[in-house]
Amino acid sequence: MLWNMFRQLPQSCTFYEPLHDYLPSYLKYPAEVQKSHLHVKSYFDEYLDTPKAILLHQSDFANYKLFLDSEDSYPELYVYIKALVESVPTWKIPILQFNRIGFRLPWIKKNFPDAILLHLYRNPRDQWFSTLASFNIDVDRQIDFDGYDLTTWARDLIKQFPFLSTQKIEHVYQRFYYIWKLSFLAGQRLSHFSVSYEDILREPRKLVSDILKFADLYSDENLEICLKIVETKPERAWVKDRDDAWFDDMERKCESVLDELGLNKNFALIPLSEIQAQSAKFMALLNDPEYDRWVHNSYRKQLSSERIASYEINQNLNQAYKNAINTINSLQWQLNQNQAERDAIQSQLNQIKAERDAIQSQLNQIQIEFDIFHEKLNRIQGEREQIHKQLEEVQAQLKDALIAQEALKEELCHVYNSRSYRITAPMRAIFGYGRIIRDKIFHPQRFDKENLSLSTQLSNNSPESESSTSLRPAAQSQSTSTVSSIMNSSQPEFSSNQSDQIPDIDLDEIMEKIRLEVARRKTQTLQVDEYDTINVKETQLFRFIKKVQLTLKKLPFYKQIYGIAINFKALIPQYQPQPINVTDLLKYDDEEFINHAYRVILKREPDNSGYDYYLYALKNNRLNKVEILGRLRYSKEGRQLRTKVKGLMYQYILSTLKIKW
């Protein structure tokens, strides 16, 4: 317990029984921990860092030359202990827990004067009972009982203490008590600090604190660490085996001998040789030849018992060897069986891994194909939505074109019914006959094919007939019919009944047709003369002159007439639209406001970047409606179109100044 307490402290390096006779063997084959040694997992770990000191260890240190007076010499033991102490790092305190130096303390103090000696002792009766607990024998009939080398020690110490021989004792407990008492006297008288094991159990905090202070290792943390190791054990365990009277009788007989020989009074205080010389009885015992015979007989008995034990051990070893061979053969056969099973299982495992890898590869391929299909499906879905949107735009534009066509038709009817049209009818007839004569003279082939239809057109002066045949714009009719055909051909593909399915048509071809037709329709419907702008609305007279110009273009002398007539273009009256009031634009909100502002001021639909920017600025109060209108009107594009917005400049200037302020 005391060794284990010191072992827990980080400032110490504590060695367990440095003189144990089996110490080198225990480093290779660790000893089993005794159940009574609480909180211990191993004994000799500290020696693993002292290989040089272990080489100096001798098994004779345990049981021979047990008594060493201060003047005795034992250089092997000295060198070994010194090597152990010097193997400890300088920042740690080396602590050696001895069980075999009670009779060597005078020699220890002489050879290691700086050593601090702490003596721990225990009640001899408890210690005796603890010794017997490890052996299942009847000690009453075993006077030479050698448990824990008791008789071996007696044979080595017989030269100093002849009363340890069998002839001088009645019971083996007396030999134990002699050795215990002499060791106790040496520890009490030669150590620097002596403490009882039972006292530590009764007052652990006080005595453990005193021990740590004595060893110069005290701290509150170290004290708590050591107190965790202390556990109380039952006292007076010997009562189960013997009563107090029996032990008192045995101990009284031993004490009388020690008193008579002067050991109780002088042992460990003066040299043993002086104690022996002062007692005549002591000298007589030393000269008695009986103790030599006891030693001889004891050795023979020990050798005989050891020989018998060796024979039994050999027999047991032979039987154990045979059993081991049979077990090894059985295990080898079982191992071969297991090896075959393992190989079969490994083969199956490899096959399963290969199948798993193949399945994983297929899953990866399927996943890739699924991702491609999903991406393609998303793209087709987006294209379908885009086509729907474009078709809706085409339908809206077509509707606007039809409305414009009807309005143009009404205007043409109005023109054809007007007085000016009737007045110019003879002139148009003259031009028609002139073209016929020209073709007949210069282009007879074309005249043969077209004269019939041309005569019919010139002879027909009905406004209704002309508005529906010769005077209808060819581009408008062709554009309307083409877009209508596209709409009619593609409409079934996007009917409400099939809106959730992907149309089985060539989307690129449909899109290309729609783009071409929309571009052609816009070109034909919005085409203007090179001297007109999109902001000018033509008068009826201007339109009439324009038609006359188209007719004159077919004559050879058109270029000379056009060079003269172009100088009078400014005399043709044109219609200027009324300016737009800013209040008419401010009544719209959000998306409708942005769209209407672009259409009115810039005469086009808003581009994506401009639309997103102005809508975000409007909703987040970064720009107001007047500022947006002003930026559009006075941009480079707005200044080129010159759209008049009444009241915009004044409000835009005020709004801009307010922001800067």
| Under 8 Å between Cβ of 187 and 194 | yes
Same domain, residue pair 566 and 426: yes
Q: Which residue in this structure is represented by tokens 């240190």?
A: 61
Give me the mean pLDDT over the 554-575 stretch.
63
- Tell me the per-residue pLDDT of 145-165, one tens digit each, with 9 for 90 and over: 888 889 899 889 988 898 988
| Under 8 Å between Cβ of 18 and 81 | yes
| Under 8 Å between Cβ of 517 and 471 | no
pLDDT of residue 437: 66
Q: Among 537, 552, 571, give the residue marking a domain's end.
A: 571
Same domain, residue pair 437 and 565: yes
- Give 120's strand partners: 195
pLDDT of residue 584: 87
| 3-state percent helix, strand, coil for the chain, nearest multiple of 5 | 70, 5, 25
pLDDT band, very low/low/confident/very high, at 474 (cuts 50, 70, 90): very low
* 160 vs 283: CA distance, rounded Å: 10
With CA atoms as reference, report the closest residue to 544 among 416, 435, 409. 416
Report how many domains make up the chain: 2
> 573 vs 207, which has greater pLDDT?
207
CB atoms within 10 A of CB 249: 11
| Under 8 Å between Cβ of 601 and 632 | yes
With CA atoms as reference, report the closest residue to 237 among 93, 348, 153, 133. 133
Same domain, residue pair 435 and 549: yes
Same domain, residue pair 563 and 637: no
pLDDT band, very low/low/confident/very high, at 211 (cuts 50, 70, 90): very high
Same domain, residue pair 596 and 458: no
Same domain, residue pair 603 and 524: no
Which residues are CB-neighbours of 463 under 8 A, at least 6 positions away? 413, 416, 417, 421
Q: Which residue in this structure is represented by tokens 């092997």?
A: 76
Same domain, residue pair 426 and 394: yes
Quick check: 605 pLDDT over 60? Answer: yes
**413 part of a folded domain:** yes
Same domain, residue pair 403 and 529: yes
Range of the domain at 547: 387-571
45 conformational bin, left if phi > 0, alpha if psi -120 to 50, beta if neither: alpha
**401 part of a folded domain:** yes
**643 part of a folded domain:** yes
Quick check: 469 pLDDT over 90? Answer: no
CB atoms within 10 A of CB 620: 8
Same domain, residue pair 407 and 552: yes
CB atoms within 10 A of CB 632: 23
**525 part of a folded domain:** yes
| Under 8 Å between Cβ of 218 and 193 | no
Q: Among 546, 571, 596, give the residue marking a domain's end.
A: 571
Same domain, residue pair 606 and 457: no
**311 part of a folded domain:** no
* 339 vs 337: CA distance, rounded Å: 5
With CA atoms as reference, report the closest residue to 32 among 44, 24, 21. 44
Same domain, residue pair 421 and 499: yes
| Under 8 Å between Cβ of 559 and 622 | no
> 69 vs 576, which has greater pLDDT?
69
Same domain, residue pair 539 and 516: yes
Tokens of 229: 């190791």
| Under 8 Å between Cβ of 5 and 208 | yes
**250 part of a folded domain:** no
